[in-house]
Each structure stands twice: as structure tokens, then as C-alpha cells.
Structure 1
Amino acid sequence: MTVRRVAVTGLSLIDPQGESTEAYFARLLAGQSAITLHTTDDPPNGLRVPAVRCTGFDPLARLDKPSLATMDRYTQLGVAAAFEAWDQAGLPREPGQDLPEAGVAWGSALGGTLAYEQGYRALWFEGQSRLSPLSVVQGMNNAASAQIGIHLGLGNASLTYTVACASAATAIGEAFERIRHGQAKIMVAGGSDAPLAFAVIRAWEAMRVLAPGDADTAPMACRPFHAGRRGLVLAEAAAALILEDWAHAEARGAPILAELVGYGVSTDHSHLVRPDAAGQVRALRAALDQGGLRAADIGYVNAHGTATREGDPTEIAALRQVFGAHAETLPVSATKSMHGHGMGATGAVEAVITVLALQQDALPPTAHLTEIDPACAGVLHLTTALRGSGVRAALSNAFAFGGSNAVLAFKAVHPV
């Protein structure tokens, strides 16, 4: 069987401030955080936590009111990201179109959490006897992939992956495999989540892994690899990549932004929430091997880096094991320090950032990293943006509860 090359021909990030993907990336390069203090609307039991909310997102700019009524916020974010990436790829978006060679693979850890929470409130606190008949289609985990497929006329596979925080990276990897093996010509791949529901925030708080902060310190609340890190920050997020058979993209004159060359997936099989370096090593090596890459070929790693006490040093230990002596000079950053943890969407967010880093030959930093934890030493932590390094290939890591690991390997189209 002929194995096909896979091009990235479109990408998008939903900017919390409502600006363009390019503006968002520029702020990341400048080390600017989108984290603010979020207050839940549940007095007297309300909670104030650092978080990232897409306050600049206007769903009416992308969809009509009847369509929006069928969508939970995570779906609205996802459809908007898919539309933007699709348009950038120069693909048709016409009413009633039927594209049998194009499909969607989407990741979400939570699905329509806000729709379900609104239903519970309506039943138990507002005294309603019936819920909206749209509750099920708003809340189902495949709502985003279904809506993307319907609105874009995608007749190939419609796939949804729920693998905790590796959901979107897994979706991208599985979409990559479909194109490599000739099962599709185009795949919309990415993820979205809207985790700022009261019950979700309370659940994460109960695990004692949420970073604290007040209005003044909230932007610096997420500090991966820092000696004083105190936990993760929840974030609304959505991002999408258009993956395309290389020959198909060239034939239609599409812009090729990068090449996806490797996908490594593994399971730790050791603990529900405690990461294990051995499992991460297997995923990292699998991505390199599939991409035909040596350790020395990698010029940047966008780390999973959640700012948890156990997660950060485990990831660095895995990188040191895989990269050996090269690890000491390997640029690594955790951009969650600025965009927070988008749960199931985070792998797509960081994959897009990795592609943009290759495109622009500009590597974003880990913000607020003023004191590196000795347990996280051994790699070149970027505390400011690195430009003009001539990076030719990069990895994007996603490691999840349940021991699920997914690593994506990208190559620059025109290496410097």
C-alpha cells in the first residue's frame, strides 16, 4: 500500500480576545498571558479562580441564530475554528455541498458540559418540568464533529475522540493515519472544550490541582516547570488543522504550511492520574520513528507542561531519556503558561502553535519561568521567544489522565 504524505493546508486558533490566529501567536511570542480571574455565577457558593474565557468570541459572526440554538458553547467554538481553518485552506464552503473525500476527526474531553449543567439547574433549581428538546444534541460528545460535518458537507468519516487531555492530539493523529493510508483526501482535525461550568471547576478544585490567584496574580497563575508552580488553569479553547493528501493539495494549488510526518500513541497502564515517563517515552519514540526523524533533527518541543507537581518533571525525564545529550540544547516551552489548559482541545491548540513556530521560525516561551525546578532541569527552557534558530522539525506533546499519550511530529515545509 502506498503511504501518502500529509500536508497542513489550514489552521486556526480561537483567540480569547477575538482577534486573529496571527495576533494570538504574536502575543504568545511576547509572553503575554490570556489568564484572568474568573468568577462562577453561583452565589453564595461561587468560586473565583484563574481561567481563560473566550470573551472576545462572537458566535453570531460565524453562524445564524437557528444553528447556534442547537449548539453548546464547546460546539460553537469548534465550528468557528473549523470554518476559519477551512477558509484559510481555500476550500469551498457552499450550501448543500457534498465532499465524500473529506471528513472530520475531533477531540473533546467534556462534550456539552454547559448544556447538561443548564439542564440540571432548570430541573432542580428553577423548578422546570421539561427540558429543551435540543438538550441531547447540544450535550452529546460528538456534537462538534457532527455539526462541522453538516455545515461543511463532509461525507467521509465523522470521528470523535474522548481521551481526556490527549483528545485533540489523538484526533489529529488518527486523521493523519486516514490520509496516509488513502482513506480520505482531506480531514478537519482538532478539538474544543468549554470547561468553565461550575461543577467542572468544583471537581478540579477537589483534586487540589487548580492554581490559586487573585485579580493581580491571575495572569501568572500557571507556571510550568517553575520551582513555585501551584497547579493548572482551566481554559475555554478550540483549534483546528486542515490535513490534506500532499498530492491533492499540490494539484489544487493549496498553501502548504507544514508537513505532519509522525504520530506516536501509547498508554502508561500504571495509574489513573499519575503520569509515567516510560509510556511517554514510547509515544515520543514512535512519533520520531514514523516521521523518519532522529533525535538531533528536532529543534523544538511544545511540552504538555501543565504546571502540576508530578506532571512537569515526568515529562522532562521522558524528554531526557529520548533525546540524550541533545536534550541539554533542545528548546522546550509550555505555552499553557499563557493560554491555560483547554482540556480535550489543548492538543490541537499546541499543534497549531507548533506549526506556526515552524512557519515563522519563532519559538514561544514558557511565560513567568523565573526559577526552574531542579527536577525539571536538563533541557533548554525558553523564557523568552527564540527567533531565527532554523528549526526544521518539532514535536507537540499531549499526555492525559488514564495514561494516554499522543505526540505529533511536524516538519517545516521550507527548512531554513
Structure 2
Amino acid sequence: MTSKKSPKKKAAIASFQPTDQNGQRRVVITGAGTINALGHDVSTTLEAFREGRCGITQLDFRDVERLSIQIGAQVHNWEPADYFNRQQILLYDKFTQFTLLSAKQAVAQSGLNFEGALGLRSGVILGTAGGGLNTWDENYRAVYEEGKNRVHPFVVPKLMNNAAASHVSMEFGLRGPSFTVATACASSNHAMGLALQMIRSGAAQVMLTGGSEAMLCFGGVKAWEGLRVMSKDACRPFSANRNGMVQGEGAGVFVFEDYEFARKRGAEVLAEVVGFAMSSDAQDIVMPSAQGAERAITGALQDGHLNPDQVGYINAHGTGTAANDKTECAAVAHAFGHHADRLMISSTKSMHGHLIGGTGAVELLACIMALRDGVVAPTINYQEPDPECALDVVPNEARDADVEVALSNAFSFGGLNAVVALRRV
């Protein structure tokens, strides 16, 4: 027995396009998870974004009194024993712990089960800059300060940068392409862009991707102090009286999957990943280049077949340093021309700090919030307009807005740039 489909149903089927304008598979996000200074999950983090809440506090760890910089966006009320057994804690550095918690949240939301054939077609690409920095710090202390001649036999597998990706692959049985990207502050965006390309090309059907960082320990902060780019009081991106960045810690993990696969299984889609581009300044190890950043922005638009006037919101790299903020604003102004005056651009680092290799992953949540909920996260702590940052930086209060396309910018030391474009579905 056959039945006639209604005209409405026919129209819905006809409108579905499993590939993009280049004939590549479309890629969507079906799960998200996070832990950061604003919250231990996505809903709490988004609530903090909407409220403009600041997660930057006094740091609390061993020997903090020896540091010149004593503030950071630290994850408080973190008890590893609430999530992991004793054996796992011995094997997982804090950055791996953060990643696994976030990955479990993301997979739970997606509703995926990786048993059988799907596990063979799924992988994980994560970003981190420092990897197991807490493990390095603890064991340097043991050897050099306490005079011990032996360390735990699992120190190397605990501190290696690929530890989090490896443990995520083992946790969920992901047997496809899996590796770690380390490009300083752009690590997460590079990881997510490569995950997009894996699915587009057919190398994988599902990818877990994002990034994590846990540098808030004595050695981690002491190293950053040497650069003299840190603020002692607050992160104030784009404000004329800004005086530096503030470190944060945490993780963000997402489930990227083939759009047709997600549609057939009835998955809830958070957003579509439509564009990605990366560029290299090839200029200076620490000073950013407006031209390099602009090439990454325009490249992401071209990759997503997007016109500048389709973009409503940019989550800026926005570190709160004089060099980054004015360079990024110049890059956005050049890339968008007259449309730059109608763009909203904010830096959520003012709230959750700079997560270094994990920062782009947490910031992608603000892009998803803008697309799904129509709420643009603010740049808090904004006090004085800067003529060199004369864009709409959504100062201090979240804003309701209709956003179709959002970009996430990441520009790292070493001049490595990565921009991801998302579209509302």
C-alpha cells in the first residue's frame, strides 16, 4: 500500500541539500560540552554570557604569593574524584580531565552511540597549547625542589599533548582519524576546522573536536609573566584603558557530524559549520599582523560562500592587549568594508579569560548562542572608547539580535590564524 505525501512534506524533502555549493558534505554540530570559570556545563556558561558575569578571581594554588600576576579565570569547586576513580586521576592531567567531562556532555547531547561501524568512521581532533602543564609543574618540583630521583612511570603519557585526544578516543571507541593540534592560541579553531574538513571529504562521518587548557599553576603563570602582556586587575578588550590579558582554564568539546546522517537519525542541530580558513603572518613570533588576520577572515567567508553582509556577529580573539585589539579591529574593518559598521563584535575573554589552546572552543559557544537564541554575549569591563577600536563591541550588556552567520576568530603567537564560520539551521 502506498500513500501520497502532502505538498508540505514534498517541499521539505526537495529543500534538503546534503552537500554544499562545492558538492562537499555539509557539517553540523549536534552536541556541546564545556567546563570553564563560568560554569561546569553549557547551560551555566550561556547563562553567564547572557548576564555578563565575570569568572576572573584571585588565583588559588601553591606558591601563588610568589607571582606578580595573581588573578585568573580559574575553575573553582573542581573535585576530580566526583568524576574519575583513583586510577584515572593518576593517569589524567587536569587538561585531560576537563576534556573528558566536556566530551561526555557533548556526546550525551548528541545521542550518538559509537559501537560497531560508526566508531570506525568517527574520530577526534583536539587543540591544546601546553598539554599536561600541571604534570610538568608537579614533577619538576619533585625532582628539583624536593630532590626526588624518581617520578611516576606514567608521567609521560599523562603530560603529552595528545593525551586528551587519546583518552577521548578510548572512552567512546573512536577508531577513525584522531590527533592533537598545537598552534598556541589558535589550537582549538585549527582543530575544529580540520574536523570540518575530515567530514566534508568523507574521511569521517562524526568527529569530536574542540580543545582544552590547564595552565593555571605556578610554572604556567610564571612563564606568561615573562611576556609582560598580563593584566593585574581585569581583562578589558577594546577599551582604551586596557592593560593586558588574563589567563583562564577549561575545555570545550563539540560533536561535528555529516548533515545527512544527523537529519536521518533526527538529531537536534545546534548550528552548521560552513566555513574555515587559516593563514600565517610569516612576520613576527609575538606581534600580530592585520593582513594575516584579514586573510583568514576573508578566506572563511569564501570557503562558506558567504557575503560579508550575511555575517551578524564575530566572537573576537580580543585578548585585551593593545597590540591584538587594534590589529584585529583593523583586520575586521578591512575585511568587511562598509558592513563593519553594522557588525557586532565582542570578546568573551573578558568573562572566561584566555584559555590559550582551549579558548576558541569555549568561544564557539557564544557563536552558537547568537545563532540559536538570538543573544549576543557582551564585552564586559568596557570603560573608555578607543578610536582604533571603533566597532560595535557590544559593551557590558548582552544584546538581543537576529544573527544568521557568526564567525569565531583566533590569532596566535607565531602568527598562525584560524577563523571558523557558523550558520543558523
TM-based fold match above 0.5? yes
Structure 1 unmatched runs, 5+: 214-220
The structure 1 residue matched to 2:209, chosen from 180, 189, 207, is: 189
Pairwise CA distance, 1:356:
2.0
Task: Give the Cα–Cα distance (whole angstroms) in 2 for the partners of residues 43 and 294 of structure 1.
Answer: 48
What amino acid is aligned across from residue 187 of structure 1 in structure 2?
M
Alignment-mate amino acid for residue 171 of structure 1: A
Letter in 2 for 1:38: L
> Are the equivalent residues in 2 in contact too, given 1:276–1:403 (CA < 8 A)?
yes
Deviates more, 1:29-38 or 1:195-204: 195-204
TM-score normalized with structure 1 length:
0.94
Cα distance in 2, alignment partners of residues 173 and 43 from structure 1: 36
The amino acid of 1:393's aligned partner reads V
Residue 48 of structure 1: how far off its partner (Å): 4.8
Q: Which residue of 1 aligns with 2:54?
A: 33
Q: CA contact under 8 A between 1:301 and 1:333: conserved in structure 2?
A: yes
SS at match of 2:208: strand
1:242 aligns with 2:255: yes
After superposition, the Cα gap between the structure-2 partners of 1:320 and 1:122, relative to the gap in structure 1 and judged at 3 Å, is same
Deviation at 1:46, TM superposition (A): 4.4
Match of residue 183 from structure 2: 163
- Give the letter for the 2:212 counterpart: S
Q: Which aligned pairs between 1:252-401 and structure 2 lie closer than 5 A?
A: 252-387=265-400, 389-401=401-413
Range with bigger deviation, 358-367 or 34-43: 34-43
Match of 1:410 in 2: 422
Structure 2 distance, partners of 1:163, 1:48, is: 24
RMSD between aligned residues: 1.7
Q: 1:305, 1:44 → 2: CA distance?
A: 28
Alignment TM-score, normalising by the size of structure 2: 0.92
How many pairs are equivalent?
404
The one-letter amino acid paired with 1:201 is V
| 1:224-235 mapped onto 2 (5 Å cutoff) | 224-235=237-248
Question: 5+ residue gaps in structure 2?
Answer: 1-21
In the alignment, is the contact (CA less than 8 A) between 1:2 and 1:181 conserved in 2? no
Given the superposition, is the C-alpha separation of residues 64 and 344 from structure 1 closer, same or farther in structure 2, using an over 3 Å criterion?
same
Report the CA distance shift for 1:44/1:11 in structure 2 as closer, same or farther (over 3 A).
Answer: closer
> What is the CA distance between 1:284 and its match in structure 2?
0.3
Once the two structures are TM-superposed, the CA of residue 64 in structure 1 deviates from its matched residue by 2.6
CA distance in 2, matches of 1:285, 1:31: 29
Aligned equivalent of 2:3: none
Structure 2: how far apart are the matches of 1:44 and 1:321? 44
- Tell me, in whole angstroms, the C-alpha distance in 1 between the residues paired with 2:66 and 2:371: 45
Q: Between the two proteins, what is the percent identity of the paired residues?
A: 39
Aligned pair 1:121/2:133, yes or no? no
Q: Which position in structure 1 is the counterpart of 2:168? A: 148
Instruction: Specify the alignment match of 1:56 in structure 2.
Output: 77
Residue 365 of structure 1, CA deviation: 0.4
Q: Is the radius of gyration larger for structure 1 or structure 2?
A: 2
Distance across 2 between alignment mates of 1:289 and 1:188? 25
Q: Give the superposition deviation at 1:385.
A: 1.0
Measured at CA, do residues 249 and 58 of structure 1 come closer, stay the same or move farther in structure 2, by a change above 3 Å?
farther
The 2-side partners of 1:327 and 1:13 are apart by 31
Question: Is 1:79 aligned to 2:100, yes or no?
Answer: yes
- How far off is 1:69 after superposition? 1.5
Once residues 17 and 338 of structure 1 are traced to their aligned partners in structure 2, the CA distance between those partners, rounded to angstroms, is: 7
Aligned to 1:217: none
CA distance in 2 between partners of 1:98 and 1:122 (Å): 43
- Asked whether the 8 Å contact 1:12–1:352 carries over to 2, the reply is no
Instruction: Please list the CA deviations of residues 6-31 of structure 1 after superposition, one character each: whole Å capped at 9, or x if unmatched.
Output: 01000122143654311211111111
Match of residue 35, structure 2, among 8, 11, 14 = 14
Amino acid in structure 1 at the alignment position of 2:166: A
Q: Which residue of 2 aligns with 1:92?
A: 113
Instruction: Please name the residue that 2:222 is paired with.
Output: 202
Query: 2: CA distance between counterparts of 1:382 and 1:298?
Result: 19
- Three-state SS of the structure 2 residue aligned to 1:406 is strand
Q: How far did residue 56 of structure 1 move?
A: 2.8
Change (3 A) 1:43 1:152: closer
Residue 173 of structure 1: aligned partner? 193
State the Cα deviation string for residues 123-175 of structure 1 (Å, max 9, x = none): 11112110000100111010010010011110001110000000011000000
Deviations 1:210-230 (A, max 9, x none): 1012xxxxxxx0000011101
Cα-to-partner distance string for 1:321-341 (whole Å, 9 max, x where unaligned): 011111112111000000000
SS of corresponding position for 1:54: coil
